[in-house]
C-alpha cells in the first residue's frame, strides 16, 4: 500500500471520561467490532475499585493489565484504528494528559444521568488547549437520563464547546426505544433482550407515517424534537469539528452495545487522520519521508527481577523501519531498535514497519525519558509534553542507610517514568517529590521497596505551587534567586524552579519581579 494511503487510513484516538461513565465498556465494545477481542468482559477495567484491596496493591495489579491495554490497535473496514488507553483514577491524570499529546482526536463519554462531571471538564481543558477534535458519546440511555436538550446545554456551557447532535434518542430509561441517526437518516431500535448490532431502518423522511408503526406515539415527539434540533443547531460542519470548535454528539448505551457501531462508523469517516506535529524547530507533516517520533509514555515492566521498561513512541512522520539507525536527540547518539512491538488485537508482536499515527513499544533500560525525540537525523525536538506544576510536595528521605544507591536509582527511574516529579532544593540539597495526587506517594514507596529494594520516608513540606522561572534580564533573575534562595530548586533537567509557599507569596513575587516569567507547566 502506498505510504499516503497508510497515513490516510489511520485513526489514533483516546477515549476519556469521568470514572464510571462507561469508558471501559465502550472501549470493549469497539474492540469487539474490530475483532480484536471475541468475548465481552475481556478488557479489564483499569479503574481502582474503592475498598477492594489497599490502593497500591490495586495499582500493582493494574500495572500488569495496563501494559496490555495501553494501546489497542485493530483493523476495521480498511481502517487501522489505534485506541490509546488512559488511566481512570484522577491521581494519575497527568498520565492521561500526556497520552492525549499522542492522539489525533478524542471521544468523551458522558453519563446521561450525571451529565458533565469534574474530570470531564479537566480533560476537555486539555483537549481545548491542544485544539484536539472531540466527539461526545452520551451513554447509559437505557437508564433514566436527563433531558437531552438540557444535557447539550450543559456540555456547551461547562465544556465550552459548540455541539451538534448527530443522533437523537427516543425516550430514555425503561421507555428507551432507540435513536434516530441524523447522520445517516435511519431509525435504530433498541431491544435490551438481544444486544445485537442494531439494523437501521432507513427514514429519509421522518414525516412518513410508517414511523408510527415502529415507535407509536413517540413518533410525534421525535419529529418535534428533531425540528427543534435542526432549528437550534447549525448543520454539522466537519472543518469546524477538525479545528476543535464543534463536538458532534451521539447517544447510546455502551453496555447494550447500542449506538456503538453507529458511533464507530461516523468516527472513522469524520475523525482526523494523523496530524502534523509541532516541534521546537518547525511543524512536521506525517507525509514527510524522514522518520520522526517521540516518547510519550514509559512503562516499567512488572517483573521486579528484570528492571526493563517499555518506551511508547508515537510516530509523527515517515516510515519507521526495524533495525534502521536513528538519532536520539537528547543524547545526541545513534540508536537501533531491534525489537519494536506493535499492539495489535490481543497480542504484542514484533513489527518491521510502522507509519505515522502508530505507536510502537520499545524495550528500554534507561535511555529514554518522556519527551525524547528520535529522528532519521534531522534536529527536531517535539513539543507538547509539558510537566504540569505539581500540587503536593514531600521531602523524600532514605529509610535504609545501606540502600542509598538503590534509592537513588529507583527515584531516578520512577521520575523518568513520569510517576512524579523530582526537584532538588538549591538551599539544602534535599530531594523533593512533587505529585498531583496522594496515591503517587504510595506508588513510589511501594515500588521502591518491591522493585529496587529501597526504603523511603516522606516528610511533609508546605508548598503551594512549584513554578519554572526564566527571564531575559539576568540581573533580575540573580536578584530573585538570591532573595528567594531558601525556596529555589532545580528540576531534573537542571532548570530553575521557585517553590511558592502560598498563592499570596506567589502573587507578590509576580508583582515585584515583572521581568521574570513564571510558568506553571515545564514547557515554554
Residues near ligand G4P (CB under 6 A) are 17, 19-25, 45, 47, 88, 139-140, 142-143, 253-255
State in angstroms the smallest separation of the CB of 50 from ligand G4P: 11
Q: Which three cell numbers stand for residue 278?
A: 509541532
Distances (CA, A) of 138 to 133, 143, 263: 17, 12, 11
State in angstroms the smallest separation of the CB of 179 from ligand G4P: 13
Would you say 165 and 47 are in contact if contact means Cβ atoms under 8 Å apart? no
State in angstroms the smallest separation of the CB of 135 from ligand G4P: 16
State in angstroms the smallest separation of the CB of 169 from ligand G4P: 12
DSSP state of 245: S
Nearest to 137 by CA among 180, 166, 172, 177: 166
4 Cβ neighbours under 8 A, 6+ residues apart: 287
Reduced to 3 states, what is the DSSP secondary structure of residue 175? helix
Give the nearer residue to ligand G4P in terms of CB position, either 52 or 228: 52
Give the nearer residue to ligand G4P in terms of CB position, either 7 or 155: 155
- Alpha-carbon span 385 to 377, nearest angstrom: 21
State in angstroms the smallest separation of the CB of 139 from ligand G4P: 5
Q: Which three cell numbers stand for residue 460?
A: 511533609
Give the nearer residue to ligand G4P in terms of CB position, either 143 or 455: 143
Q: Which three cell numbers stand for residue 108?
A: 468523551
Sheet harboring 178-181: ordered strands across?
A: 167-170, 178-181, 186-189, 200-202
State in angstroms the smallest separation of the CB of 196 from ligand G4P: 15
- Alpha-carbon span 517 to 524, nearest angstrom: 10
* Binding residue numbers for GTP: 17-24, 85-89, 139-142
Give the nearer residue to ligand G4P in terms of CB position, either 25 or 101: 25
State in angstroms the smallest separation of the CB of 215 from ligand G4P: 20
Give the nearer residue to ligand G4P in terms of CB position, either 145 or 456: 145
Distances (CA, A) of 76 to 30, 80, 260, 347, 350: 10, 6, 14, 17, 21
State in angstroms the smallest separation of the CB of 76 from ligand G4P: 20
243 Cβ neighbours under 8 A, 6+ residues apart: 131, 133
Give the nearer residue to ligand G4P in terms of CB position, either 173 or 377: 173
Q: Both ends of the chain: CA-CA distance in Å? A: 40
Give the nearer residue to ligand G4P in terms of CB position, either 47 or 464: 47
Residue 221 CB coordination number (10 Å): 12
Give the nearer residue to ligand G4P in terms of CB position, either 169 or 357: 169
Say how many CA atoms lie within 13 Å of 167 toward its Cβ.
33
Amino acid at each position: 500500500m502506498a505510504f499516503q494511503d497508510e497515513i490516510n487510513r489511520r485513526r489514533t484516538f483516546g477515549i476519556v471520561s469521568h470514572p464510571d461513565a462507561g469508558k471501559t465498556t465502550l472501549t470493549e465494545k469497539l474492540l469487539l467490532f474490530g475483532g480484536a477481542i471475541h468475548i465481552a468482559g475481556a478488557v479489564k477495567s483499569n479503574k481502582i475499585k474503592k475498598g477492594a484491596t489497599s490502593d497500591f496493591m490495586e495499582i500493582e495489579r493494574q500495572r500488569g493489565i495496563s501494559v496490555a491495554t495501553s494501546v489497542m490497535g485493530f483493523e476495521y473496514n480498511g481502517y487501522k484504528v489505534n485506541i490509546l488507553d488512559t488511566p481512570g483514577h484522577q491521581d494519575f491524570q497527568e498520565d492521561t494528559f500526556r497520552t492525549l499529546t499522542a492522539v489525533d482526536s478524542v471521544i468523551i463519554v458522558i453519563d446521561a444521568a450525571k451529565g458533565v462531571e469534574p474530570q470531564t471538564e479537566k480533560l476537555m481543558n486539555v483537549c481545548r488547549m491542544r485544539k484536539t477534535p472531540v466527539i461526545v458519546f452520551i451513554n447509559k440511555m437505557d437508564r433514566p437520563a436527563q433531558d437531552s436538550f438540557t444535557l447539550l446545554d450543559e456540555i456547551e456551557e461547562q465544556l465550552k464547546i459548540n455541539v451538534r447532535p448527530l443522533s437523537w434518542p427516543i425516550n430514555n430509561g425503561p421507555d428507551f426505544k432507540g435513536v434516530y441517526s441524523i447522520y445517516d437518516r435511519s431509525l435504530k431500535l433498541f431491544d435490551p433482550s438481544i444486544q445485537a448490532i442494531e439494523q437501521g431502518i432507513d427514514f429519509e423522511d421522518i414525516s412518513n407515517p410508517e414511523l408510527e408503526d415502529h415507535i407509536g406515539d413517540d413518533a410525534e415527539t421525535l419529529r418535534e424534537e428533531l425540528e427543534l434540533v435542526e432549528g437550534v443547531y447549525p448543520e454539522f460542519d466537519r472543518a469546524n469539528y477538525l479545528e476543535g470548535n464543534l463536538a458532534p454528539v451521539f447517544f447510546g448505551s455502551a453496555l447494550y452495545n447500542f449506538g456503538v457501531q453507529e458511533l464507530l462508523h461516523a468516527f472513522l469517516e469524520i475523525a482526523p487522520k494523523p496530524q502534523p506535529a509541532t516541534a521546537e524547530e518547525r511543524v512536521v507533516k506525517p507525509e514527510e519521508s524522514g522518520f520522526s517520533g517521540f516518547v510519550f509514555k514509559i512503562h516499567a515492566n512488572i517483573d521486579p527481577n528484570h528492571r526493563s521498561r517499555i518506551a511508547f513512541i508515537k510516530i509523527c512522520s515517515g516510515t519507521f523501519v526495524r533495525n534502521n539507525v536513528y538519532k536520539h536527540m537528547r543524547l545526541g547518539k545513534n540508536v537501533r531498535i531491534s525489537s519494536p512491538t506493535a499492539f495489535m488485537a490481543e497480542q504484542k508482536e514484533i513489527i518491521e514497519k510502522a507509519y505515522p499515527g502508530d505507536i510502537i513499544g520499545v524495550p528500554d533500560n534507561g535511555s529514554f525519558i518522556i519527551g525524547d525525540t528520535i529522528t532519521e537525523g534531522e534536529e527536531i525536538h517535539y513539543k507538547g509534553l509539558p510537566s504540569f506544576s505539581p500540587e503536593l510536595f514531600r521531602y523524600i528521605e532514605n529509610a535504609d542507610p545501606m540502600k542509598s544507591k538503590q534509592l537513588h536509582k529507583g527515584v531516578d527511574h520512577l521520575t523518568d517514568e513520569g510517576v512524579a516529579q523530582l526537584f532538588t532544593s538549591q538551599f539544602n540539597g534535599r530531594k523533593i517529590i512533587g505529585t498531583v495526587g496522594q496515591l503517587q506517594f504510595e506508588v513510589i514507596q511501594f515500588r521502591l521497596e518491591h522493585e529496587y529494594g529501597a526504603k523511603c520516608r516522606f516528610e511533609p513540606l508546605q508548598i503551594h505551587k512549584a513554578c519554572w522561572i526564566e527571564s531575559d534580564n539576568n540581573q533580575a533573575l540573580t536578584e530573585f534567586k538570591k532573595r528567594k534562595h531558601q525556596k529555589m530548586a532545580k528540576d531534573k533537567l537542571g532548570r530553575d524552579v521557585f517553590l511558592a509557599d502560598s498563592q499570596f507569596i506567589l502573587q507578590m513575587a509576580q508583582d515585584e519581579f515583572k521581568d521574570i516569567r513564571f510558568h506553571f507547566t515545564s514547557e515554554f
